Amino acid sequence: MDAPPLEDGGLLVEGNQIAAVGRFTDLWAAHSARLIDLGEVILMPGLINAHCHLEYSSLRHLILTQTTFAKWIQRINASKRNLTDDDYLDATKAGAAELLRHGTTSVVNIEAFPELMVRRPELPLRTWWCYEMLDVRLRHHTEESMHGAMLFFDPSDSELTQFALSPHSPYTASAELYRLCAEAGEALGMLVTTHVAESAEEMQMLRDGSGPLHEFLAGLGRDMSDCGQATPLQHLIEHGGLRPEHLLVHLNELSGDDEALIARWARGKEIHVAHCAKSHQFFQHGPFPYEKLLAANANISLGTDSLASNDKLDLFAEMRCFSEAFPNVSPVEIVEMVTRNPARSLGQEGRLGVFRAGACADAIAISAGDIGLGDVYETILQNKRPIPWMMIAGKIVGP
C-alpha cells in the first residue's frame, strides 16, 4: 500500500519490523536470512478494523432489525442482562479469532464493561482497548473520577496492547464527560473515539427534541435539557468535547450547517471517520454521506461494528458492501480504508498499513489465482477465503 504492486516481491523482516522491501531475487542476493516462500499469493499489510465490539460476539443473529434504533438498544440491553462476565470474556476471544481468520491484525475494540479490563485476555492481534464511558443517568463526573478511570489502564509489556478512551455518544455521555475525555486524551497521548450522529433518531433527539430515542432516554431519567438545540456534531464541538484528531464512528447524519462547521472546527486538519458498512445496512440508515465527508477533508476507514448488528467480523465483506454502495470508488481507495487510512487515524502512519523499511512486520497472504498486476486490488476485494498465512509483529500467527 506504499507503492504500486510488485511482482515477485518480498519482505526482509528483522525482529518485529520490516527491514527492506523489494523483489525477492534482489533481497535474497543482498541478505542471508531464513526463507519463507509463500507461493502464488498476494502479500499485503495486515488489515486494520477501525471499530469493533468484540464482547458482543455471542450475539450473532440474536437481534433482528427493529422498527426503531431505540428498540434495538432495548433489545441489546435485554440480551446483555443474560450474559456473565465470563461470557463476555469468551466472546472477546472468539471474536478476536474470527478477526484473525479474515486477515485483521489490528482492531479498535470498544470495552463496554470497564471492570473487565483487569481480566482482559492477551489477544494475538494489535488491540486498542477503548474504555467506554457513559453517564446517561448520573452526571457527576469530575477530574477525580476520571483519574479513577485511568487506574484500569495497567501498564502492559505487550507491544500489541494499547489503551484508549471512548465516551459512548452524545445521547449517553454528557458534554462535561466528553470535555474531560478530550483533555485526558490530549494530556496522555491516548486515542479518543466516539459514536456520533449514527441514526436519524439521534438527530431528532438532539436537534429537534423529539422522536423514539428522546422518549426512551427520557423514560430512563436522562436530563433532556440539552435536546432541541443542535445536531449531535454541533453539540459536541460547541461544548469542547471533540478534537479533529478524535476517531468519529458512523457520522451518518450531517446537516448543511454541520458541513460548514467541520471546516471551521478542523481548520484545515484532516478529520477521522470510521464507517461500518454492513452495520449501516443492517439498521437501514440513510445514505452514508461519503462525498460530503471527503469534501470536508475526512480520512475514512472501515470497521465491522459488532455481531449484534453484523453477521461476520470480516473486513473483506465490509469492503465489498462499501463497493456496492459506492461503485465509483476504486478498489485501491477501498483497500486503503482498511490499511493506510485507519493507520493515520490511530497515529500509526508509516508503521501500520504499509510495507516499508521501519514499518511493523504485520502481513497477510491472500490466494492470488491467475491474475495480472492490474487486477490485484479487485482480487483483494473479492477474497472470501480464510487467510492462509499471517504475521504480526514479526511472528507467524496460526498455521
Q: Burial, 117: exposed, middle or buried (Cβ in 10 Å; 0-12, 13-18, 19+)?
A: middle
pLDDT at 275: 98
Residue 362's closest CA among 95, 57, 49?
A: 49
pLDDT at 65: 77
What pTM does this model have?
0.95
- All cell numbers assigned to 111: 470495552
pLDDT at 101: 96
User: Which string of b and e fits 212-232 if b means at least 16 CB within 10 Å?
Assistant: bbbebbeeeebeeebbeebbb
> Is 334:47 a contact under the CB 8 Å cutoff?
no
> Is 168:132 a contact under the CB 8 Å cutoff?
yes
pLDDT (tens place) for every residue of the chain, 399 residues total? 888 999 999 999 999 999 999 999 999 999 988 999 999 999 999 999 999 999 999 999 888 777 789 999 998 888 888 899 999 999 999 999 999 999 999 999 999 887 788 888 889 999 999 999 888 766 454 555 566 666 667 666 689 999 999 999 999 999 989 999 999 899 889 999 999 999 999 999 999 999 999 999 999 999 999 999 999 999 999 999 999 999 999 999 999 899 889 989 999 999 999 999 999 999 999 999 999 999 999 999 999 999 999 999 999 999 999 999 999 999 999 999 999 999 999 999 999 999 999 999 999 999 887 666 668 999 999 999 999 999 999 999 976
Distance of CA 321 to the CA centre of its chain: 16
- The 10s digit of each residue's pLDDT in 95-129 is 999 999 999 999 999 998 877 888 888 899 999 99
The β-bridge partners of 369 are: none
In which residue are the cell numbers 462476565 written? 85
